[in-house]
Amino acid sequence: MLTEKVPVGVMSSVVAPEKPTSNTMGPKEVELILVKEQNGVQFTSTTLAAPNQNQANPSGEEERETWGKKIDFLLSVIGFAVDLANVWRFPYLCYKNGGGAFLVPYLFFMVIAGMPLFYMELALGQYNREGAAGVWKICPIFKGVGFTVILISLYVGFYYNVIISWALFYLFSSFTSELPWVHCNNTWNSPNCSDWADNSLASDIYKTTPAHEYFERAVLHIQDSNGIDDLGRPRWQLTSCLAVVIVLLYFSLWKGVKTSGKVWIEAATQICFSLGVGFGVLIAFSSYNKFGNNCYRDAIITSSINSLTSFFSGFVVFSFLGYMSYKHKVDLDKVAIDGAGLVFVIYPEAIATLPGSSVWAVIFFIMLLTLGIDSAMGGMESVITGLIDEFKFLHKHRELFTLFIVVATFLISLFCVTNGGMYVFTLLDHFAAGTSILFGVLIEAIGIAWFYGVDRFSDDIEEMIGQRPGRYWRLCWKFVSPCLLLCMVVVSFATFNPPNYGPYMFPPWANMVGWCLAMSSMAMVPLYAIYKLCTNFNLSFFFLEQRLAYAITPETEHHLVDNGEVRQFTLQHWLVV
């Protein structure tokens, strides 16, 4: 595709050379491209001219924002993929699941599932130039999985923004000559507060460090709550920090882009979390790429950078943990804790022992803020792009719709900044994107590789980048990744463990709420499929075969269904790789 840079506010039109013919989206012999560049962002208006026609086809017109520079896209994807999970989740999973032994399933899943699915989502969004729901015009019956990933991103945003607000609170608290989590003589400290290395008389069960009490008693005020059924009011300090985060997100988004078995489950889930597969973000970001962008190269570069970052974080984290284990003269498992405790207890405690600790603390929490904001922006962009592309009338009101989304997210996140907010946070973290994200990616793989067709998908990629995906990628898309994901989903359900926060066990009703949350996103797949089969009013309800044919055929090929030509009803479609 040829484009021409012009001065700001000036528009030009060019005729792109004839694209290779494809049997996927109809003839595209001549493409007229209108390019406008403003403030570093290019806007393209594309008109497809069919052969032997003097006028453009109005249905072929589209206008979509594109990245101003290629580096903007790469940095956005890397910024989303490299997030807090690289800092606190990956190192802890390595330790809990055998250290280096965990790298075996992790790298295995990276090669046969993570990278192929990462590549698949980038190509899917770039070719169809739609969000997570709109891309399923290629197989309408699967559009429900688009709403699944949108809901997952929305649910994760309810608690992920709270982590960033904690980091902001710690950042403000670090601008002191002495960090507030160094000693036990503060108003929030309990009689059990002591340095493990200095107090050998107290029982290990009751010992708590100043850093641990600062996080739980000064920041969270969890001592004022008896559990998830005793939340209390939102704390104004954390609410203010959360509001700052929400404002930053809004002004960044309102204008658009710029056991052994259990070890394997956690490795698969970590791949999805780490690479960002299944959240709809990769589809949303790549939908703003130019049509001829080399998405294959992007997939290799960004997924490799993300994994290398995880490995590097692991080395850094274990040096911290080893130091703290030696300092307190306790076993490593006493200091190797999961999630927020690792970032907001162990790290700050280790930083407090460094010369010029306040400076290092400021730098560390600024790093957490940048990691968190990038990923939060990606998740929210997935929601906004997915819904705006699906409901076209929202295009003209993007600023208002973005405001609505961020305000709604803020209001629900308030539950996580109450005295018992940590219990809500833990419940959301456990149910929002565990089994459901594996399920969503599984349905994506089945819909593209089997129903749309891995051969058709490969044709689309060849049309964009000039080369067809190798047999390795096609085999992973069609057989390897779906089979492994199916096994992981089944085992994940079979080996479910209820959440807990320390010694606190959640009541049955809370677990039920969590399951309702998880099932609400997964239920979008069957519900939309039923809706699609039942809403073709041009057909009698008894013509189920024709209804199914329309539902599994790309929208641009529905005229073929009228002629009785349905690819998916032939054996060759299912056998080809």
Look at phi and psi of residue 178 and say left if phi exceeds 0, alpha if psi is from -120 to 50, else beta: beta
Does the annotation place 82 within a ligand binding site?
A: yes
Whether 386 contacts 407, CB under 8 Å: no
Side chain identity, residue 513: V
Smallest CA-to-CA distance from 558 within 528, 531, 529, 538 is with 538
Does the annotation place 86 within a ligand binding site?
A: yes
Does the annotation place 113 within a ligand binding site?
A: no
Whether 495 contacts 413, CB under 8 Å: no
Residue 501: its H or E element: strand 500-501
Residue 504: its H or E element: strand 504-505
Tokens of 372: 């968190």
Distances (CA, A) of 122 to 60, 116, 149, 186, 288: 23, 10, 15, 51, 10
Determine the Cα–Cα distance for residues 257 and 239; give it in Å rounded to an integer: 27
Does the annotation place 460 within a ligand binding site?
A: no
Side chain identity, residue 545: E
Tokens of 89: 């989740």
Q: Which residues contact 424 (CB under 8 A, 6 or more apart)?
A: 159, 228, 231, 415, 416, 418
The residue to which tokens 């300090």 are assigned: 237
Tokens of 369: 């803020």
- Residue 9, helix vs strand vs coil: coil
Does the annotation place 274 within a ligand binding site?
A: yes
Whether 437 contacts 152, CB under 8 Å: yes
Ranges assigned E (strand) in 1-86: 11-16, 30-38, 41-49, 62-66
Does the annotation place 306 within a ligand binding site?
A: yes
Calculate helix-pair angle for 143-173, 398-413, nearest 10 degrees: 60
Q: Which residues contact 181 (CB under 8 A, 6 or more apart)?
A: 210, 211, 213, 214, 215, 218, 348, 349, 352
Q: Which residues contact 70 (CB under 8 A, 6 or more apart)?
A: 293
The residue to which tokens 């208002």 are assigned: 400
From the number of C-beta atoms within 10 Å of its C-beta (0-12, 13-18, 19+), residue 246 rates as buried
Smallest CA-to-CA distance from 567 within 540, 443, 558, 27 is with 558
Distances (CA, A) of 510 to 56, 82, 430: 57, 31, 12
Q: What are the φ/ψ torsions at residue 231 (nearest 5 degrees)? A: -80, -40
Does the annotation place 317 within a ligand binding site?
A: no
Smallest CA-to-CA distance from 501 within 218, 158, 174, 220 is with 220
Does the annotation place 81 within a ligand binding site?
A: yes
Determine the Cα–Cα distance for residues 83 and 81; give it in Å rounded to an integer: 6
Residues flagged as binding site: 79, 81-82, 86, 274, 306, 371, 374-375
Query: Which residue numbers belong to the known binding site for Na(+)?
Result: 79, 81-82, 86, 274, 306, 371, 374-375
